[in-house]
Structure 1
Amino acid sequence: MDSGDNEVVVDFPQIIRVYKSGRVERLFGSSTVPPSAEDPTTGVSSEDIDISPEIKARIYLPKLTNLHQKLPILVYYHGGAFCLESAFSFLDHRYMNCLVSESNAIVISVEYRLAPEYPLPIGYEDSWAALQWVGSHVVNEPGFEKEPWLVNHADFTKVFIGGDSAGGNIVYNISLRAGTENLNGGIKILGCLLCFPYFLTSKDFEEDSIPSKLWMFVNPSAENGIDDPRINPFVEKDRLSLLSCSKILVCVAENDVLRNLGIQYVEAVKESGWDGVIELIDVEGEDHCFQFFDTETENARNLIKGMANFIKQSCI
């Protein structure tokens, strides 16, 4: 290796490292795994798809009770501070199998492009494009190749978006955007799941804190730093009334440094005049995205069941 490849220019210990040569070393996350024709534990099927030349996804189908069954759709955005993890990782795949089985929903887990190779807002744009791709199945566009699982089994009147951590932040930003821009096929977002959402404010986090420095790393164009409205939902509180969904679930955990901002978000949405129902799940004794790392604990199973019940009850 030359000296440029050995010289570190950005270093977040145990998270990510960038070298002068441009090489990126991700120090956190799990290895990728292939989709499964039928998961032996849950019976969920999965396959990998291309949404566009740049955007890929893994789609999940729960075990069907009949061939004509129509199911809700959840477009899911993984966590990882916009620079880590993958829709194809072991941890994400196991988690999605559990959530799909419990919720009985079709899930499209989006492989949006990551910083620093693709700094924000690219991740937001990829995530929006994935939702638009879902809507394109409602109309007949020349040359558009439809996904058979969606054509045969999706109920496009029951569309949800959800995500953990950075994915929860993406959900917030997409639901705002959908309040002012139309989605393909006229689809509407029925519900949003924000699990441990990655929100920051200069009041709650110092500029030299790891969450703040990570935000500036993945979004160097953010003019107002951690008070950018994409990461701080409170700087433009009036916009919260524009959230384009009728139901929201926010999940937080007692030991998570982001917990209080998640709770503040719930209260701010309630006070905004938004015409919908917002719920909060606050898990005692747990930390950030705990259910993602171990789906088999009692608290993890209960949280996944709570998320699934939110989807089921919203569809009634």
Structure 2
Amino acid sequence: MASITCKEVEMEILPFIRIYKDGSIERLMGSPLVPPSPDQDPETGVSSKDIIISQDPTISARLYLPKLDQAHLQRLPILVYFHGGGFFFESAFSRDHQRFLNSLVAQAQVVAISVEYRLAPEHLLPICYEDCWAALQWVASNSIDSSTIGANYREPWLNHGDFKRFFIGGDSAGANIVHNMAMRAGVESLPGDVKIVGAFLTHPYFWSSNAISELSEMDQASHVDKLAVPNLVWNFIYPSAPGGIDNPMINPTAPGAPSLAGLGCSRLLVTVAEVDVMRNRALAYYDAVRKSNWEGEVELVRVDGEDHAFHILNLDTQNAKNLVKRLASFLN
């Protein structure tokens, strides 16, 4: 009888990931990877393709282009999107994010670039932030005359984009990335002097050392299994973070954090779900932006009866369809 080798577990964060002592990693969640649809998605008419943004480091992306009306070939808004997944699972090439972006791109009529940044624990934070900033720079560089940057560097699908209507957006960890990209854009210029017009954060992954105390006793009782996860995950993906869970990248309202008046965009949309354990952190962020000296316009969307990232995980529900419609409206 053949012997069965049982690998020893080093650590795990259930139901998401398991790390073995031999260094192997088992990701327990995440939707399957799917190919792009270069010949148009049959439901939405959206075309998609995969490209390499950088070879060193390795950064790739999935591009989306709506069905173009030959009679009205006006330039379209540009959306750079960052997927969720706690910084350590999911992908720009996953089925759930593909379906969501097909729907959003079709309704909003935008050119979208979904960034495949490197994941923890193989690549601990802040690597993913650097990858996403590099991707933003690459997209913005396509606004520059090809004779300046080289014709081979330019992405043809971005010729349909209007760099004066430049947006960023993301869900969960991706929404956290959106905030940090907007803050960096407030102090560093993008190529071609491209400006971020708007940013949307759906169910942002923000947390703090006092986040649990902010929840009601009823919420704490009903979410006892979920309350430890945000802290566990942050310490797992960014163990060297100065300040730990109160690092400004995860807690933008922490004492000593950079002023939110420095956000480098003109419009901001924050969305929260009623039964998401991280909703209070998102609400605190919204309030802090509103009370800062930031000169932009901030909006809040609340959805009752839903949990974290419901619009990605359950796209066919009415609440998800309504949220996608609201996001499309924001992009236009």
Q: Specify the TM-score bucket, using the shorter chain as the normaliser.
A: over 0.9
**TM-aligned CA deviation for residue 4 of structure 1:** 10
**TM-aligned CA deviation for residue 233 of structure 1:** 0.5
Match of 2:235 in 1: 216
SS of corresponding position for 1:161: strand
- Give the counterpart of 2:64 among 50, 60, 66: 60
Match of 2:8 in 1: 7
1:245-283 alpha-carbon deviations (Å, 9 max, x no partner):
010000100000011111111110011110010000000
Match of 2:41 in 1: 39
Match of 1:307 in 2: 327
Q: Distance in 1 between matches of 2:5 and 2:188?
A: 44
Match of 2:91 in 1: 86
Q: Distance in 2 between matches of 1:162 and 1:11?
A: 30
Q: Would the alpha carbon gap of residues 237 and 224 (structure 1) be closer, same or farther in structure 2, given more than 3 Å must change? A: closer
Matching residue's letter, 1:82: F
**TM-aligned CA deviation for residue 69 of structure 1:** 2.6
Q: Distance in 1 between matches of 2:5 and 2:135?
A: 36
Alignment of 1:134 onto 2:136? no
Q: Distance in 2 between matches of 1:21 and 1:205?
A: 35
Q: Distance in 2 between matches of 1:213 and 1:259?
A: 18
1:77-131 alpha-carbon deviations (Å, 9 max, x no partner):
0000000100001111111101111111111000000000000011000010110
Matching residue's letter, 1:194: L
Q: Is the 8 A contact 1:237 1:268 kept in 2?
A: no
Matching residue's letter, 2:73: H
| Paired residues for 1:1-316 under 5 Å | 6-36=7-37, 37-53=39-55, 54-66=58-70, 68-139=73-144, 140-142=148-150, 145-151=153-159, 153-205=160-212, 209-235=228-254, 236=256, 239-312=259-332
Q: Is the 8 A contact 1:113 1:126 kept in 2?
A: yes
Q: Distance in 2 between matches of 1:197 and 1:220?
A: 20
Matching residue's letter, 1:45: S
**TM-aligned CA deviation for residue 143 of structure 1:** 6.8
1:160-208 alpha-carbon deviations (Å, 9 max, x no partner):
00000000000000100010111111100000000000001101148x8
Q: Distance in 1 between matches of 2:150 and 2:6?
A: 46
Q: Distance in 2 between matches of 1:250 and 1:27?
A: 29
Matching residue's letter, 1:173: N
TM-score normalised according to structure 2 size: 0.90
Matching residue's letter, 1:61: L
Write out the 4+ residue segments of structure 1 that deviate beyond 2 Å after TM superposition. Answer: 2-5, 66-69
Q: Distance in 1 between matches of 2:126 and 2:69?
A: 40
Q: Which runs of 5+ in 1 are unaligned?
A: none
Q: Is the 8 A contact 2:248 2:257 kept in 1?
A: no
TM-score normalised according to structure 1 size: 0.94
Q: Distance in 1 between matches of 2:241 and 2:4?
A: 31
Percentage identity across aligned positions? 52
Q: Distance in 2 between matches of 1:83 and 1:4?
A: 26
Q: Would the alpha carbon gap of residues 186 and 4 (structure 1) be closer, same or farther in structure 2, given more than 3 Å must change? A: farther
Q: Would the alpha carbon gap of residues 40 and 5 (structure 1) be closer, same or farther in structure 2, given more than 3 Å must change? A: same
Q: Distance in 2 between matches of 1:293 and 1:210?
A: 19
The higher radius of gyration belongs to: 2
Provide the alpha-carbon RMSD of the alignment.
Answer: 1.7
